[in-house]
């Protein structure tokens, strides 16, 4: 079932296929550099084994799917699922450059996709499960795809207040446009920032043996050119401002540059990142 505008996640489908699709596909390496370490920590926690069948939810450009495929080797199978056709086109391109017949991709919404029951030994996600309109329904559907005692492991952001790469630019954006405070749990990067909410969702979806562990690490964002870094971050966070007023967007770049300047180094912005590493069992 391919994602459509009739999906419960229609807004996210539009966002990841149109609003930021070209930005993310053209600068995939840039964005993946920021989050790669957190994904590796979660991958180690999952502990994929040779011959396992693993589902990669929200796989984006496919880097994590290919990494999982190398770990399960040719006896295993890894399926990467994402709602973004442009990002999965990049994933397919990367796959063609490697000999990993055990990896494949599908454009679909994990909340409603008709998974074959009891197919996968494990489910993994690197920042791909924070965007569901109905997370209980989504995780229940994902759980259906797991075998008995199958493992779930994902990494998600903690709250915006714990992550300055979010709150610093968003604070400046709010000075330029009216940014309504998102409803608690609304789809978005910080929707699973509350560990109590994570536990409640996964329990309601039927998972057990839950572990929600905090993890902190420095993030290096962008490179030596601070102006380029600011431009890219704002293109992702404030596309609406640019569309409405180029002069406002230029002023926003100046103010965001100032708040980021104390954190800039020759290798890029160096900021703390705060995530949850979540594990559960069917």
Please state whether 212 falls in left (phi above 0), alpha (psi between -120 and 50) or beta.
beta
Q: Which residues of the chain have pLDDT under 70?
A: 1-5, 179-180, 239-243
Q: Please compute Rg for the chain using Cα positions.
A: 19
Residues sharing a CB contact under 8 Å with residue 62, sequence separation 6 or more, in sequence order: 80, 87, 88, 90, 91, 92, 94, 95, 103, 105
pLDDT of residue 116: 96
Question: What is the structure's pLDDT at 123?
Answer: 98
Phi, psi of 156 (to 5 degrees): -140, 160
Cross-strand partners of 270? 220
- Determine phi and psi for 80, rounding to 5 degrees: -95, 130
Distance CA 72, CA 65 (A): 11
Fold of 10-159+183-220+273-281: Rossmann fold (3.40.50)
- Return the pLDDT at 5: 59
Q: Of 58, 61, 39, whose CA–CA distance to 48 is shortest? A: 39
Query: How far apart (Å, rounded) are the C-alpha atoms in residues 271 and 263?
Result: 7
What's the confidence (pLDDT) of residue 89?
98
CB 263 within 8 A of CB 270: yes
| Average pLDDT along the chain | 93
Helix (H) or strand (E) holding 39: helix 28-46
* φ, ψ of residue 276 in degrees (nearest 5): -110, 135
Q: Are 131 and 185 in contact (CB under 8 A)?
A: no
Q: What pLDDT does 4 receive?
A: 57
Q: Cβ atoms within 10 A of the Cβ of 32, count?
A: 16
DSSP tag of 18: I
């Amino acid at each position: 079932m391919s994602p459509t505008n009739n999906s419960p996640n229609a807004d996210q489908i539009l966002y990841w296929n149109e609003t930021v699709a070209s930005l993310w596909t053209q600068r995939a390496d840039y964005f993946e550099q920021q989050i790669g370490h957190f994904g590796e920590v979660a991958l180690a926690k999952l502990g994929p084994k040779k011959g396992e069948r693993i589902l990669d939810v929200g796989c984006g450009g496919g880097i994590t799917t290919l990494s999982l495929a190398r770990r399960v080797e040719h006896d295993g199978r890894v399926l990467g699922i994402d709602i973004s056709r442009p990002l999965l086109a990049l994933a397919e391109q990367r796959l063609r450059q490697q000999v990993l017949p055990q990896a494949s991709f599908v454009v679909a919404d994990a909340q409603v996709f008709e998974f074959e029951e009891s197919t996968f030994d494990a489910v993994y996600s690197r920042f791909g499960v924070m965007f569901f309109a109905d997370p209980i329904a989504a995780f229940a559907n994902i759980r259906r795809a797991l075998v008995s005692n199958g493992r779930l492991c994902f990494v998600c952001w903690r709250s915006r207040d714990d992550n300055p790469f979010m709150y610093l630019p968003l604070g400046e954006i709010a000075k330029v446009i009216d940014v309504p405070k998102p409803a608690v749990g609304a789809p978005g990067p910080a929707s699973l920032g509350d560990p109590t909410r994570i536990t409640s969702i996964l329990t309601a979806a039927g998972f057990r043996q839950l572990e929600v562990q905090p993890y902190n690490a420095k993030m290096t964002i962008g490179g030596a050119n601070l102006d380029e870094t600011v431009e890219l971050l704002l293109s992702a966070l404030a596309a609406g401002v640019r569309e409405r007023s180029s002069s406002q967007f230029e002023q926003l770049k100046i103010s965001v540059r100032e708040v980021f300047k104390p954190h800039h180094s020759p290798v890029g912005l160096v900021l703390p990142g705060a995530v949850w590493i979540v594990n559960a069992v069917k």
